Structure formats: structure tokens, C-alpha cells
Amino acid sequence: MNKKHVGGDFDDFLREEGIYDEVRAKAIKRVLALQLQDRMGRMHVSKAELARRMGTSRAAVDRLLDPANDALTLGTVHRAASALRLRLVMRLERLPSRRRRRSAMTA
């Protein structure tokens, strides 16, 4: 019996399918959009008001808050964060080494 993904984790599966980076980017964008929407709700700020504070259009705010739209710039995110009295924090982290794991079945 050949079980291709037994013993691996979800990240391994996504890498094997060749979609890890795409899925991760979409997940990050979705979390970012939800965080901004949550803050807007807590501050009672409408999309139109956020657009005014950012000096942009309501359509640009719609794109920013659309989890499926991953085309955004750091400048746009920074302006939105500032308009909502938030600080944008980013960091780069070193990836863990990608050592090959050997299961007992292949040993």
C-alpha cells in the first residue's frame, strides 16, 4: 500500500503540491484583512471613513479588506494601520532546515 503523505505535516503536503508559498501568502492576507476589519469595528470606523483617513478611495479600501485580493503594497497597509492607530510590524525569520525525515516504513 503506497500512502504518499503518511507521516508528513500539512506544510510538507503543500510543498509537495507546489502551492506552499501561494497558500501562505493568501492566509497572511486573510488574517491582515480580518485584523483591520476587527479594528474598524472596535473604533466604529466605516470603509468610507477609513478611505478618507488614508487619503484614498473607497474602492482601494475594499481591495485592502478583500481576503482574496493579495495585490497590495506595504504603503497601503502602513497607511491603513496608521489611520486605525495601529503599528505595522514585520520581520523576516530564517526558515528551519529542511531535513528529510525517514519513516520506519522506508528504513
Q: Residues 25-64: pLDDT tens digits?
A: 888 899 999 999 999 999 999 999 999 999 999 999 999 9
The C-alpha atoms of residue 12 and residue 8 are separated, in whole angstroms, by 6
Task: List the domains of the chain with CATH numbers.
Answer: 10-83 (1.10.260)
The C-alpha atoms of residue 53 and residue 45 are separated, in whole angstroms, by 10
CA distances from 100 to 12, 14, 106 (A): 10, 15, 12
- The DSSP 8-state label assigned to residue 55 in this structure reads T
Query: What is the CB neighbour count within 10 angstroms for residue 100?
Result: 4
What is the percent of the chain with per-residue pLDDT over 90, rounded to a whole number? 49
Contacts of 14 (CB under 8 A, 6+ apart): 20, 23, 24
For the ranges 35-39, 91-95, 98-102, the lowest mean pLDDT is seen at 98-102
For the ranges 42-51, 65-74, 78-87, 91-100, the lowest mean pLDDT is seen at 91-100
